[in-house]
Amino acid sequence: MTEVKQADRMPPTVWGARFIMILQLALSLFPAAIMIGGAVSAPDPELFALLLLPLAIVAFLGWLVFRWSTRRKWVRWSAIAFETIALAGHVITSAVDGEFGWMTVIGLSTLLPLVIVVGLLTPTAGRWFDR
């Protein structure tokens, strides 16, 4: 006879990181939709090229969230790498533009990726993604 094996519960840090990534995905869909509307109304090859990066980011973030339940190591490390690049890109852009200040440090563009990276680097997240 087959045994029913209860699945491990997702640790709160991993659940929180996943929730924040879903929130990031939802918040990035709105600007992408506005850019698509602008690209359709005024067809320009340069505008289409600018549209590729936000669409690639939305697609990759959605793919990561979709693959989260596989609990594979590469999903965890891909999410850490993605959020680290997003955090570094925001901080570097703010510093180069001369807008680096307290609002940069405590803004959502800084705090959300930082919370995800810290949450995914915990030992409980490492054990949960050890598959």
Answer yes or no: is 53 within a domain: yes
Please check whether residue 4 lies inside any domain of the structure: no
User: Residue range 40-64: average pLDDT?
Assistant: 82
Q: What is the domain range of residue 111?
A: 12-128
Calculate the alpha carbon distances from 15 to 52, 70, 71, 126 in Å. 29, 14, 12, 13
Q: What is the reported pLDDT for 43? A: 75
Q: Tell me how far apart the alpha carbons of residues 50 and 48 are, in angstroms, rounded to a whole number.
A: 5
Q: How confident is the model at residue 6 (pLDDT cuts 50, 70, 90)?
A: low
Does some domain include residue 39? yes
Dist. CA 37–CA 66, nearest whole Å: 26
pTM for the whole thing? Answer: 0.83
Percent of the chain with pLDDT over 70: 95
Residue given tokens 């680096």 in the structure block: 100
pLDDT tens for each residue of 70-128: 999 999 999 999 999 989 988 888 888 887 787 777 888 889 999 999 999 999 999 99
User: What mean pLDDT, rounded, does the chain reach?
Assistant: 86
The pLDDT score that the predictor gives to residue 5 is: 64
**Measured torsion, CA atoms of residues 45, 50, 53, 54, in degrees rounded to the nearest 10:** -120
Residue 6 covered by a domain: no
Residue 44 within a domain = yes
Asked if residue 5 is part of any domain, the answer here is: no
Count of domains forming the chain: 1
Mean pLDDT, residues 54-75? 91
Residue 97 lies in a domain: yes
In-domain check, residue 88: yes
Owner of token pair 């901080």: 91
Q: What is the pLDDT of residues 109-122, one digit of tens each?
A: 889 999 999 999 99
